[in-house]
Structure 1
């Protein structure tokens, strides 16, 4: 009896390298990559709702349960990338952890420069906060180094969610795991704008809770959701850009935490500020400096060339070179 042909897709046989050494992605890899990213996004969002509760999302009990869920999904998320590698036959030189931005080369610049760049963008809001803060500069320094202040922060479930758990798990899942799967089938530049779509759509789940607890009108809730999708998609593109340029996870995580702390710039308050001209000038200066420093401060030469995820690109990209 003749054995049946193996019907399992064998993408490994289609993988090859061109004569000039460039990586040629296997046939069908894009479908596998997109479906893998979609499954990963659904797993992350779905984990938030495995616990049945009538309490709002900011209740400490709800936050603790969701910590458990997303941390489990985040711990399992590298398995998605590993399974994707095995199924598609993509065997890059860098290790799995390096592809996900967990490496030591260029670590110090990756901690400092992307965060500095993000703070430059928020120059206006930072100046506005400094003007309105009742504390003096030295008071702020003392509070920053006060262990009791940090103990209070760490005991606040909402602070832990917004500043630690959400930035770490979301960047791990939506950047470190998704970008290595998307880059081979598109390009680094296309992946930067594709990856945030999963991230933005994932935030639509807030609509469910707002409608459930009737926190506003239906039209108002959906308008807020559209705005949040737009904002998170743009932010996701920015952190994806940082991840590809630096090849590190730590930069996007720190930038995410900082942006969660700052929130969306209060332009309305800036327009009504007593020192409106100074504040608005700082807003404009911050944006201009950000655009000028965007590529210099993320130059891959600071982070050890080539960045691991760039080795998966099927065609050379200007994002991956110094």
Structure 2
């Protein structure tokens, strides 16, 4: 008859389960100790502690060959499931720390999609992080920035200048030339390039931005450089709307050159003579965000920015100075 077990005190620890599993799989204290790299007496003591804590005998040691008790056999089956689940949880945690799993919320202004930069950056991120759940939505700039500042969104593709919340940083990723969108019946529509000064009496259509934001700012600066203050006409929700408004003759618009992909009847795009104003596309994110997923996205963004800068440098090399 088995001696009564003394009631265990304390908690079962993970090492107890790992020791038990090694013995269960080897059915030998000696081989298990060698596999674990521990002394056999110490291993035996830890199993006795586990049995005391459980208040059951796990192994039948009365025979020459080590065997499970019924309690030990059933405990093994459940512990094996537990250890598989624990190992899976460990791997998930490590992958999350490397930014390989989790969620990323990305916002963008509609014009960002026309540049190709949005799809290139997100495409590379998705290729490198296929298990990260991406939530991508088109959203007006100020709403993006509020959502990022409040932690409801992680990344935003925006068109500066725009007032930034205190905890938001940006990375410029693209600078585009401006072009002039005109109705095909406009007198300037037949010109190779248009002198903006000739449109001083024109109504300029801009997005629904506050004063001095984004293309309100760009249009003002470009027209001021041409010697006049622009007269703003109707406003559009996005560049597709603006292109439609121009095509029906409601005014002209200064737009980023990537908008040329919007082709509508009675709509033409013309280069602007001597134009130096550039439209910026930038990525916004929370300053000091420690998320590995966000850090990885920012790293990919910086990589594409460097590639873009290098491509522009190759296309327009600086003149050598003697």
> TM-score of the superposition, structure 2-length normalised?
0.24
Report the structure, 1 or 2, having the larger strand content: 2
Higher helix fraction (1 or 2): 1
Larger radius of gyration: 2
Structure scoring higher RCO (CA < 8 A, sep ≥ 6) equals 1
